[in-house]
Structure 1
Amino acid sequence: MNGAESLVNTLVGQGVDICFANPGTSEMHFLAALGNNERMRSVLCLFEGVCTGAADGWYRMKDTPASTLLHLGPGLANGLANIHNAKRASSGMVNIVGEHSASHLKYDPPLTSDIEGLARPLSHWVRRADAADTIAWDTANAVAHASEHPGKIATLILPGDTSWQQAGSAVLPVRARAARKTPSFARVEHVARVLRSGEPTLIILANKATRGVALERAGRIAAATGARLGSQFFTARIERGAGRTPIERIPYAVPQAMAFLEAFRHIVTVETAEPVAFFAYPDKPSLLKAEGTLVHPLVEADEDSALAFEMLLEALGATGTAPRRQERIETPAPSGALNPLSIAHALAAALPENAILVDESLTTGRESMGHTMGALPHDLINNMGGSIGYATPVATGAALACPDRRVFCMVGDGSAMYTIQSLWTQAREQLDVTTIIFANNSYAILKAEYANMGAGSPGARALSMIDIDQPCIDWQAMARSMGVPSVAVDTAEDFHKAMVDSTRERGPKLIVVRL
């Protein structure tokens, strides 16, 4: 068994059984090992940012890390934007980065780079596998770090000679199940006193607190105390829709966010921090809470939010309280012109039960979340890191993680161009992904931000830098070239019909929404 085979065997043995790969010459032995191991699923991606984004989507739905295969330093660099997004979403990931053999590096070949230097700012754990005999140990440690709570980014650098040399008997570290820490009892008691005060309180949920038992218990606390439940504008994954505990979304724009938060005397944070503006704006604050509002951490990022809510219910004497639940709202299919409201109504009417909704719609879909609260139960995934080009890769990974669920991916045309290669992987793997591209032929969000920043009225030359209509992108031709059927729509009724139709057959679909 060579080092590459030892690495793949260890990955699979530690529960990492999928690899999103974009291999190069240095990784041929690793590629052979992937192909020869029937327990490992290898998924080819045509750009490294698709690899890392898909691994992020896999983790968000499975809560277990995937692996990626990236080609040397430049390949890692291509994947860093979506590693950044994954890190901000607390997603676990094991990146295998190929490297020249030690004997070749001394000649400074063209692809030589400081891979550790590239990896370290966005990785929680970085190691170079220096010997085939220790590669199993290194790999097991990488998986252990990636599997912690919150999830971590682990990067293992694989030199070519380590990959092809023979490995000895594998000795692995004993891997204890990653346990979440117990929240502080003093913090729980303090928050219980805040809630008993009756003063207006917002509990902000994030990460694991926005789903499962933790969310249901948060709904019971809200019902017992009158506190409101909220989330940051972007959240890694929320279980929402009819029958689930509803969470209000703090607005993105600073004035609206400040107006929303002004009503609260107390903010309780769960696996997150207090709300902060996404960018700095002239004459606007970075912290969004009102003056005098008190912030009370309840659950830190590495703690167990479900346990914290159980402790809080006991402290409040409210263990028997039924949770708040969202009522089903039957939204009729809209007709007429396409605008943010009709798009939101079409989405609410068309979402099938148990769908996964990946949102990078920015301007066009900003109203959608408020109007889909009462839709059929579904999961919502947002971009936590703000680096665009995340949605189509994340949707790809989510579809592989949950092959029995339809994934809807909403993305603006500017963002879609970053990682449109995802469509090819979706077609190759025949994934049930409906990609919705909102084609307004511009970076529309930047037009709004131009005004928000107080940069004055943009002239023609400035506008030309945020318009993408000369030439217009032919999305249907692009989808066709990658094997994905497509349709273009101009009205709300056609948009609704296209979404419903996309769920009737297996495989990927593309809907171009002409705005």
Structure 2
Amino acid sequence: MFAAESLVRTLINQGVEVCFTNPGTSEMHMVAALDRIEGMRSVLCLFEGVATGAADGYARMAGKPACTLLHLGPGVGNGLANLHNAQRGHAPVVNIVGDHARHHLKLDAPLTSDVEGVCRPMSRWVGTVREPSEVSTMAVEAVRQAYGPARGVASLILPADCAWSDAEPDVLPAIEPPAAIPVPADTVAEIADALKAAKAPVILLGNDACLDTGLEAAGRIAEATGAKLFMDTFVPRIARGHGRVSPKRLAYFGEQALEELAGTDLLVIAGSKPPVAFFAYPDQPGELTPPGARAVTLGDASSDIQEALVSLAAQFPDAPAPKLSKLSQAPKLFPDELLNPGYVGISLLRHMPEDSVICDDATTSGMGVFPWIEHGPRHDWLCLTGGAIGSGMPQAVGAAMACPDRQVFALCGDGAAAYTLQALWTQAREKQNIVNVVFANHSYLVLNVELARVGAGEPGPAAQQMLSLDNPKMDWVKLAEGFGVPARRAATAGEFDEALQAALAEGGPQLIVAEI
């Protein structure tokens, strides 16, 4: 037995059941440990950004961490973008990174790097095993740190010689992970009084406030006070569909968000922070709390915000039941119409199974799908919380691993999908029920919009080439089939509707190219 086995056994005791991995030489004793020990499923990913994105999707749906296993500084560097999304989405992830043996570091071999320095910007905690005897205690600490109470990425660096040591550290039992921080009763009472006094209040929901318990309580508060319900533009996980409270999604562009919030005199922040614009623009404000409005915080991402909303709702005992979404009937489909994101949304409304999971990495096209299924079949919608594209297909891998009995969809722009299309191979290998929809507009469409918004002038030939994906056009059918995923192309509303029905009927991983 070697020390890596103690680490794996300890992680299993903490409830870590899945490892998304792209290992190298320094991690071979972890690979051997995962092979010898039952209780943790190892999932190979062809690119580290797929492994980290999958760990993000798993955490959002399972409510607990998976672990990654990555190779040295360059390996974790390849996975940083989706660790950023996980960190911004407060998804608990145990990010294990192998390093050179301690005595080898002084030789400055080609893969030597500052692994701690690479991990730190995208982690809420970074720890390094200094001695083999620390392997189990550091594993427990990594899990504890991933749980927060502000959940996030905990990076554990494991030198190769600490993993291969024949020391046998104790396998530690399960610990009670830290709970979210209760919101004081005085805070709840003060905000209740503020809501009673306000003339035009708004409640802005974020993070766990957008799950069932928080939404139901927020709906009761809105009925009692006349408050408008909004949610952050990019929420880690939104419970949506018929039978649920449906807050309005705050507009992406700052001036539109300010217009939506105009006139409010009280902004109650529940599970988030005061809203800000995604980017800075010339002569535009970055802070989106309306002028003259008072902003108060019920709780942030570290708070037990669902319980706080339940307690706040109890301050209004005579409040009527919240208004719940009724199941929408799909409008008439015009099969010969050219495809657009709205028609994709209508097809999902028509055919999406109850309790599906949607991983949105489609930026502009995802915004077009979102409203059509607001009152459709019940589903969870996972947003691009950190803005780093390339999350959709990997996130779907993790969501499907966490919820194998649920249908998963990945909505991806063609530019975003090109970042991490290696996820298709893992989907095929694991035989996951994922329908990948790639919106092929053959450009970075959102950047064409942003070029105009920042006042950079009309794009010339060089700028157009930097924002265009049509020379050459990517053949997503061939790309998908090359990774073992059946694929179809749709250019009209009818073709997409038929393709979606066929993909769902066949099961397993599928890809539909939505030519828009």
Asked if TM exceeds 0.5, the reply is yes
In structure 2, what is the Cα distance between the partners aligned to 1:382 and 1:47? 21
Alignment partner of 1:10: what SS? helix
Alignment partner of 2:346: what SS? helix
**Aligned: 1:389 with 2:386:** no
1:6–1:167 contact (8 Å) kept in structure 2: no
- Go from structure 1 to structure 2 and tell me whether the alpha carbon gap of 1:173 and 1:126 turns closer, same or farther (over 3 Å shift): farther
In structure 2, what is the Cα distance between the partners aligned to 1:486 and 1:294? 51
Q: 1:204: how far off?
A: 1.0
- Render the CA deviation track for 1:135-155: whole Å, top value 9, x for unaligned: 011111111111233312111
Q: 1:431: how far off?
A: 0.5
In structure 1, what is the Cα distance between the partners aligned to 2:154 and 2:289? 35
- Counterpart position of 1:324: 323
Alignment partner of 2:220: what SS? helix
Q: Normalization by structure 1: what TM-score?
A: 0.97
1:55–1:397 contact (8 Å) kept in structure 2: yes
- Counterpart position of 2:135: 135
AA of the residue aligned to 1:272: S
- Render the CA deviation track for 1:136-178: whole Å, top value 9, x for unaligned: 1111111111123331211111111111111234164872342
**Aligned: 1:347 with 2:315:** no
AA of the residue aligned to 1:99: D
1:222–1:324 contact (8 Å) kept in structure 2: no
1:133–1:166 contact (8 Å) kept in structure 2: no
In structure 1, what is the Cα distance between the partners aligned to 2:446 and 2:281? 15
TM superposition outliers: structure 1 runs of 4+ over 6 Å: none
In structure 1, what is the Cα distance between the partners aligned to 2:503 and 2:217? 35
- Render the CA deviation track for 1:25-83: whole Å, top value 9, x for unaligned: 11111101111112110000000000000000000001100000000000010011111
Alignment partner of 1:268: what SS? strand
In structure 2, what is the Cα distance between the partners aligned to 1:340 and 1:139? 44
Range 421-430 or range 196-205, more displaced? 196-205
- Render the CA deviation track for 1:266-309: whole Å, top value 9, x for unaligned: 11101101111000001111012321111111112211112212
Alignment partner of 1:195: what SS? helix
Q: Normalization by structure 2: what TM-score?
A: 0.97
**Aligned: 1:121 with 2:121:** yes
- Counterpart position of 1:162: 162
- Counterpart position of 2:261: 261
Range 62-71 or range 4-13, more displaced? 4-13
AA of the residue aligned to 2:513: V
1:333–1:493 contact (8 Å) kept in structure 2: no
1:65–1:92 contact (8 Å) kept in structure 2: yes
1:346–1:493 contact (8 Å) kept in structure 2: no
1:116–1:126 contact (8 Å) kept in structure 2: yes
- Go from structure 1 to structure 2 and tell me whether the alpha carbon gap of 1:39 and 1:228 turns closer, same or farther (over 3 Å shift): same
Alignment partner of 2:246: what SS? coil
In structure 2, what is the Cα distance between the partners aligned to 1:255 and 1:348? 30
In structure 2, what is the Cα distance between the partners aligned to 1:169 and 1:67? 20
In structure 2, what is the Cα distance between the partners aligned to 1:177 and 1:118? 26
Quote the sequence identity (%): 44
2:90–2:301 contact (8 Å) kept in structure 1: no
Alignment partner of 2:380: what SS? strand
AA of the residue aligned to 2:491: D
- Counterpart position of 2:178: 178
Q: Which structure 2 residue ranges, 5 or more long, are not aligned?
A: none
- Counterpart position of 1:88: 88
AA of the residue aligned to 1:329: S
**Aligned: 1:193 with 2:193:** yes
Alignment map for 1:37-48 (pairs within 5 Å): 37-48=37-48
1:183–1:300 contact (8 Å) kept in structure 2: no
AA of the residue aligned to 1:256: Q
Q: Which structure 1 residue ranges, 5 or more long, are not aligned?
A: none
1:333–1:349 contact (8 Å) kept in structure 2: no
- Go from structure 1 to structure 2 and tell me whether the alpha carbon gap of 1:347 and 1:309 turns closer, same or farther (over 3 Å shift): same
In structure 2, what is the Cα distance between the partners aligned to 1:333 and 1:391? 29
**Aligned: 1:300 with 2:306:** no
- Counterpart position of 1:373: 374
1:141–1:173 contact (8 Å) kept in structure 2: no
Q: How many correspondences in the alignment?
A: 514
**Aligned: 1:146 with 2:142:** no
Alignment partner of 1:274: what SS? coil
In structure 2, what is the Cα distance between the partners aligned to 1:408 and 1:340? 14
Alignment partner of 1:465: what SS? helix
- Render the CA deviation track for 1:104-136: whole Å, top value 9, x for unaligned: 111110000000111112212211112222201
- Counterpart position of 1:19: 19
- Go from structure 1 to structure 2 and tell me whether the alpha carbon gap of 1:262 and 1:170 turns closer, same or farther (over 3 Å shift): same
- Counterpart position of 1:78: 78
Alignment partner of 1:154: what SS? strand
In structure 2, what is the Cα distance between the partners aligned to 1:127 and 1:177? 18
In structure 1, what is the Cα distance between the partners aligned to 2:350 and 2:332? 6
1:344–1:365 contact (8 Å) kept in structure 2: no
AA of the residue aligned to 1:393: P
- Counterpart position of 2:98: 98
